[in-house]
Structure 1
Amino acid sequence: MARSRPDTLTDALPGLRRVLRRFAPYLRPHRAVLTGATAALIGATLMRLLEPWPLKFVIDRVVPASLAGTGGSGVTALDTMTLLTLCALGLVAIIGLRALFQYLSTIGYAVVGSRVLTEVRSDLFRHLQGLSLGFHTRSKTGDLTMRLIGDVGMLKETAVTAALPLAANVLVLLGMIVVMLVLDWQLALIALLPLPVLWLCSIRAGKKIQTVSRKQRKVEGDMAATAAEAMASMRTVQALSIEDRAAESFVSANGKSLADGVKAKRIAAGLERLVDLLVACAIALVLYFGTLQVLRGRLTPGDLLVFITYLKATFRPIRSYAKYSSRLAKASAAGERVVQLLDEEPEIRDRPGAMPAPAYAGRIAFEGVTFGYGADKPTLEGFSLDIAPGTNVALTGPSGAGKSTLAGLLLRLYDPSGGRIAIDGQNIRDVTLTSLRRQIGLVPQETVLFRGSLAENIALGAGREVSPEQIEAAARLANAHDFIAALPDGYGAQVAERGASLSAGQRQRIAIARAALRDCPILIFDEPTTGLDSSNESTVTEAIWRLARGRTSLLITHDLSQAARADRILFLEAGRIAEEGTHADLLARGGRYARLWALQGRGQGGGALRAVAG
């Protein structure tokens, strides 16, 4: 979802406002803490405004009275040392209260920020899982991970280390301007002369930093994608000796990120130095004209001291902006990336009024289904198929014929552009996604295991609480119990990332155990024996047909010896059914299936099916 790049800081700040507006529902439950933190922030601001006044009192009242050797009235009638002590204690009390209020506001905002962004990250993860497979196919996994972890983390950090101090300084700025205008509006206007110049410079610098930061976040997302791809494919990278190529791609992106980071820092540093220069000019003007006012008796020396003290603090928000501008710009870019994902609408979702699916018997019907992955020729066009409950159907044919596409459509990983798919006569789009998928078991070609124990991985697909006995029964059905029991920790053995500690055959048996525990009326086996040796293939095949007994099943395979055991074989070609029947029927016809069976029988295996197109 492309968005136009902001041209000015005024355009960039709405990005932050849009982020805050999107996060507003998360803030509402924390209104009490936010109110308390804001009250503490205002208290800290008031204490900061009071800080120079004890010193003003000493210069204007205590020192003249001491030099004159006479007491005054009221408080100044007290002993000089007593007055000094009171002023010193007052200053300590003011600074102590300011520190307390600042601590409370910082903790309050930090707690709210952490809670809100923790909820945002959890919801973002759930939202990502709910986005359609087409979105994930188009996206880079590393970039999505960067948004989920890095961008949300940057928002967390910036909320406390940059946004909060900047907000506090803005309050101090407003308060000090008011006090300065009350003391002497003419001198106040002279003091604030550089402010418009600073604001214009900040807008220009902010625009540049925002642009550079957005580019940097994108580059860092590409870096994360490159790293994730290389780490996930380390076996292939090392086997092909392409470490240098992978490193070159990463180093190139890393260098771009470095250049963008240095550029942003250079712009921010230039703005900081400009602020220092203009602050010096403002102080010089106030010192000159303020001293003239003191000599004319229109101001006291203490008033001039307050003016100069306030003046240095008045420009602190601009200086702070220069200091934090890079971080705030990165936070704005990170927030936009997070909001962009949260606003991404799933292509596949429940229709309004969708109902939970009833318990299926397993009759499947594809009725005039048309579907394509892009704007090119559709993979399926007007495809129709009817499968009776409890039938084992094998889908075979050349690669790209539409076999896995049928499985994806049945699971509603995609929706057809024409026609409909029905189970037991009901359109699958009329039922909720969750209730549909809970009644379909999948054994994929590449089984992915997750962090945790083997027992947890088997129970993962059940969708309900299961007992250790049920897990073991499913493992026995899948011919997995023996190898699991032989492990030192048995079912409690921890699985390495993506199941790397297990062989391909063992992972497939875990997948079959998952499907068995799921206890679905419909099963999909997508190339379940590809890449297995003969021993593992035999074990997995036995488990597959044991699980498929009495259920409607789709077996997608290039191995015709697997397909031969099915009740019904469909030979697909270019998105249509080229041949259909039992194994014996298809051999008797002497068509393409029979020719490929003969090729595989001569030892050419499933590769013959993939190689021969006509």
Structure 2
Amino acid sequence: MSAHTGGPARSSSEEPVGEVTPPTKSPARAGRGRPGGPMGGMGMPTEKAMNFTGSLKRFAGYLRIERMRVVVVTVLAVVSVTLSVLGPKLLGNATNIIFEGVIGRQLPAGSTQAEAVAGLRAQGNDTFADLVSGMTVTPGQGLDTTALRNVLFGVIAVYVGSFLFGWLQGRFTAVVVQNTVLRLRAEVESKINRLPLGYFDKQQRGEVLSRVTNDIDNVAQTLQQTLSQLVTSLLTIIGVLAMMFWISPLLAVVALITVPLSVLVTAMIAKRSQPQFIKQWAATGTINAHIEEMYSGHALVKVFGHQQSAIDTFEQENAGLYESSFKAQFISGIIQPAMGFIANLNYVIVAVVGGLRVASGTMTLGDVQAFIQYSRQFTQPITQVASMMNLLQSGVASVERVFDLLDADEQTPDPAEPARVETVQGRVAFEHVKFSYSPDVPLITDLSIVAEPGQTVAIVGPTGAGKTTLVNLIMRFYEVDGGRITLDGVDTSTMTRDALRSSIGMVLQDTWLFKGTIADNIRYGATGEVSEERLLEAATATHVDSFVRTLPDGYETVLDDEGGSVSAGEKQLLTIARAFLADPPILILDEATSSVDTRTEVLVQKAMNALRQGRTSFVIAHRLSTIRDADVILVMEDGDIVEQGSHDELLASGGAYARLYQSQFAGAED
């Protein structure tokens, strides 16, 4: 928002007593029991089934910009996996060299391998003869150390190369992931700035924060692990399968028997764990919302003695999170041991069949050893893919929550060719304006008022009359349902929001300070460079200078985001100084002196009177003594103007204003 403000525009859920609010008012109740909303009541999942495939495809679209890096990641993964897959075969050759050396020593020197085999058969040792016939040995010769050394050096080179290419793959993967998540976060931030105020009225702040922080972090973690491991695992499955068929088609078929069983088990478990992950992340948003509410309203919770109630609610929601998290992790965690059990069955079958084939001379011991390693490598990536289903389901559940935010209805876009007011004079007119927060609950039905340049327009009325709603419509926090609002004769709906709000300064009763120095907080509403003289002038005029100079660091005193080092009244003065420095042509003062003491209020009123000179001012007030000098006082009831005039005129008429005035100043005496 580009308006010069003394504090951020509060939503109707944060309005003071006496202001019109939409149907969902209290942040503590926002979302509870609502059938609508992206995630239903209190952030819990709706009954609609999660679109796992659709969400996955949509998120894959975020990787298109990184497609060249993804190609590089894939190529590096292919090279790394190829080298890794060659390792067991080379180690099998080393085993063969050692085993052939051991067997060769047991055969008579000087004979050929065929003669040695014939001799063994003549002795009736057919099993040993079959074993020797399936090998390449030189009778009487021991271990060939040169050949063994060359093979081992080759194995080392292969594994080192696999590591280096795998390291490069990981580095490129990190770049892809962080760039993708960077764009996703930027899109979410941009989306939040385009959402209407009504969206935040219906959402708990903790729930929105959970989607922006926790869910996006979970998406990043999921993408980081799946993008690298998934590609590597799939390539490993393909490479290992090819090597297994090359070594022994029979053993390969035997090993593949367990694959359908693995897929079936994984699918069955994943089907049961996915709903639990949806509940887990929804419950995470719920408990974050509760914690945020209890923390921001900590003092109020203590004042009304609701500590135990807050603890009970937390324990209830924490128990719900525990239950959904436990079920999600436990059910999905079954995948790993189940796959391990199937892998062990596969290992036993391969070992038995392979041993028999070695004994029969149809396979070498090194090939059996390599095949067993390959069978382990084959089941390991399948297990990894199955385990990643756990992470993938959690990540997709989070990304859907982020997409819910991105798909929320946005505020109407600014016109393509916006109208402009070159020099704002400050004439604001409501022409037959209609507005309601809910279609079935009309609020403003036909409102027409005019605030001339330089006038001070005070707005008073009982609770729910529509005073703050009037201000929200001027600022275009909400769009009118009928009629129009003009600024110097220009329909504000034809202007950009930035252009409109840059001409308006606001001071709200809800003060807002960010973490920074007092000087930075005062400069917040101003555009361009602010000289020290202008800063001191604004601070002096609003009586900020007197208390700031008592602080050890003066204007360089650092405030936290709650402004804890200054009092409530001093925070109010800082927001008034902020609007004073901004020097806008239109002022909106919503109970701007509600947090200051009586003496300070008199001083601030003088400063505000000086500030209002030559500016159109809208003043919402409950203390009627503060608006006696207003040019026009509007009395609102049920969204309509029931009276208007000066203070004296309205008192003389004896109408609604007179009753409000008497209730304030005569009530105590009566």
State whether structure 2 residue 123 is matched by structure 1 residue 83. Answer: no
| Residues 1:48 and 2:112 aligned together | no
| Structure 1 residue identity aligned to 2:482 | G
Letter in 2 for 1:15: S
For the pair 1:37 / 2:73, whether they are aligned, the reply is: yes
User: 1:71-110 counterparts in 2 under 5 A?
Assistant: 80-110=144-174
Q: What is the correspondence of 1:418-497 to structure 2 with a 5 Å cutoff?
A: 418-497=482-561
What SS does the corresponding residue of 2:622 show, helix, strand or coil? Answer: coil
**8 Å contact from structure 2 (residues 85, 239) kept in 1:** yes
2:574 is the alignment partner of 1:574: no
> CA separation of 1:468/1:155 partners in 2, compared to 1, >3 Å: closer, same or farther?
farther
1:591 to 655, 661, 664: 655
Task: Pick from 384, 392, 409 the counterpart of residue 320 of structure 1.
Answer: 384
Q: 1:604 to 1:448 in 2, by over 3 A?
A: farther
Q: SS of the counterpart of 1:572?
A: strand
Q: Which stretch has the larger CA shift, 441-450 or 259-268?
A: 259-268
8 Å Cα contact 1:409/1:416 also seen in 2? yes
Instruction: Determine whether 1:527 maps to 2:591.
Output: yes
**Contact 1:12–1:210 under 8 Å retained in 2:** no
Higher deviation after alignment, 125-134 or 191-200: 125-134
Q: Partners in 2 of 1:402 and 1:5 — Cα distance?
A: 37
Q: Match of 1:612?
A: none
Question: Given that residues 508 and 540 in structure 1 are in contact (C-alpha distance below 8 angstroms), is that contact kept between their aligned partners in structure 2?
Answer: no
Higher relative contact order (CA 8 A, sep 6+): 2
Residues 508-558 of structure 1 show CA distances to partners (whole Å, capped at 9, x for unaligned) of 221122112222111111111224321222222222222111101100112
1:285 CA displacement: 2.7
- Give SS of 1:383's match: strand
1:59 is displaced (CA, Å) by 3.2
Moved more, 123-132 or 452-461: 123-132
Contiguous gaps of at least 5 residues in structure 1: 609-614
C-alpha change, 1:255 and 1:322, in structure 2 (3 Å) is farther
* 1:214 alignment counterpart: 278
Overall identity of the aligned pairs, in %: 31
1:507 equivalent to 2:595? Answer no
SS at 2:535 equivalent: helix
| Stretch moving more, 390-399 or 274-283 | 274-283
* Mapped partners of 1:356, 1:126: distance in 2: 24
Greater Cα radius of gyration, structure 1 or 2: 2
In structure 1, give the amino acid aligned to 2:326.
V
Deviations 1:411-440 (A, max 9, x none): 010001111111111111111111111111
The alignment status of 1:382 with 2:418, answered yes or no, reads: no
Aligned ranges for residues 244-393 of structure 1 at < 5 Å? 244-295=308-359, 297-355=361-419, 358-393=422-457
| Pick aligned residue for 1:15 from 39, 42, 55 | 55
The offset of 1:146, in angstroms, is 1.4
Q: Distance in 1 between matches of 2:246 and 2:565?
A: 75
Distance 2:626 2:510 in 1: 18
Helix, strand or coil for the counterpart of 1:345?
A: coil
Distance of 1:587 and 1:14 partners within structure 2: 65
| 2:293 paired residue number | 229
Amino acid at match of 1:125: E
Give the distance between the partners of 1:290 and 1:353, measured in 2 at CA.
Answer: 78
Instruction: Note the C-alpha offset of 1:33.
Output: 4.3
Contact 1:521 1:552 in 2 (8 A): yes
Secondary structure of the 1:499 match is coil
Q: Output the CA distance in 2 between the equivalents of 1:469 and 1:177.
A: 78
For residue 497 of structure 1, give the secondary structure of its aligned residue in structure 2: coil
Deviations 1:394-421 (A, max 9, x none): 0111111111101001101000111111
- Once residues 335 and 191 of structure 1 are traced to their aligned partners in structure 2, the CA distance between those partners, rounded to angstroms, is 37
Deviates more, 1:151-160 or 1:309-318: 151-160
In structure 2, relative to structure 1, the CA distance for the partners of 1:222 and 1:79 (3 Å cut) is same
By how many angstroms is 1:138 displaced?
0.7
In structure 2, do the counterparts of structure 1 residues 59 and 415 end up closer, same or farther at CA, with 3 Å as the change threshold?
Answer: same
Give the residue type in structure 1 aligned to 2:427: R
Taking only aligned residues, the RMSD between alpha carbons, in angstroms, comes to: 2.7
State the TM-score, normalizing by the size of structure 2: 0.84
Q: Which moved more, 1:437-446 or 1:587-596?
A: 587-596
| Deviations 1:121-143 (CA, angstroms, capped at 9, x unpaired) | 24423422332110111111111
Alpha-carbon distance, 1:467 to partner: 2.5
| 1:319-367 Cα deviation digits (max 9, x unpaired) | 2244444333222211221222223232343234335553321111111
Report if aligned partners of 2:233, 2:385 keep a CA contact under 8 Å in 1: no
Cα pair 2:101 2:143 within 8 Å, conserved: no
The Cα shift of 1:443 comes to 0.6
Structure 2 gap segments, 5+ residues each: 1-37, 40-44, 114-135
Where does residue 64 of structure 1 map in the other structure? Answer: 100
Q: In terms of mean alpha carbon deviation, does 413-422 or 582-591 score higher?
A: 582-591
AA aligned to 1:314 is: F
In the aligned structure 1, how far is the partner of 2:555 from the partner of 2:625?
A: 33
Measured against aligned partners, the alpha-carbon deviations of 1:54-104 in whole angstroms (never above 9, x if no partner) come to 2221234553266436999x9x99981111112222222222222222222
**Distance (Å, rounded) in 2 between the aligned partners of 1:349 and 1:449:** 29
**Alpha-carbon offset, residue 312 of structure 1:** 1.0
Q: 1:5 to 1:332 in 2, by over 3 A?
A: farther
Q: Is residue 505–residue 586 contact of structure 2 (8 Å, CA) maintained in 1?
A: yes
What secondary structure sits across from 1:446 in the alignment? coil
Deviation at 1:390, TM superposition (A): 1.4
Count how many residue pairs are aligned between Structure 1 and Structure 2: 599
CA contact (8 A) 2:173 2:224 kept: yes
Contact 2:97-2:148 within 8 A present in 1 as well:
no
Which of 514, 526, 550 does residue 614 from structure 2 map onto? Answer: 550
Q: Give the residue type in structure 1 aligned to 2:58.
A: R
**Is the alpha carbon distance of 1:349 and 1:508 closer, same or farther for their aligned partners in structure 2, counting shifts above 3 Å?**
farther
Checking the alignment, whether the CA contact within 8 Å between 1:209 and 1:325 is kept in structure 2 is no
Q: Distance in 1 between matches of 2:168 and 2:379?
A: 24
Is 565-574 or 110-119 further displaced after alignment?
A: 110-119
After superposition, what is the alpha-carbon deviation per residue over 1:373-400, rounded to whole angstroms, capped at 9, x for unaligned?
A: 1133211012111221111100111111
One-letter amino acid matched to 2:581: L
Give the match's secondary structure for 1:498: coil
Pick aligned residue for 2:470 from 403, 406, 418: 406
Distance in 2 (alpha carbons) for counterparts of 1:347 and 1:555: 27
Greater displacement, 177-186 / 406-415: 177-186
Name 1:562's counterpart in structure 2: 626
Contact 1:205 1:271 in 2 (8 A): yes
Given that 2:97 and 2:147 are in contact with CA atoms closer than 8 Å, whether structure 1 keeps it comes out as: no
2:161 alignment partner AA: L
Which TM-score applies when normalising by structure 1?
0.91
3-state SS of 1:273 partner:
helix
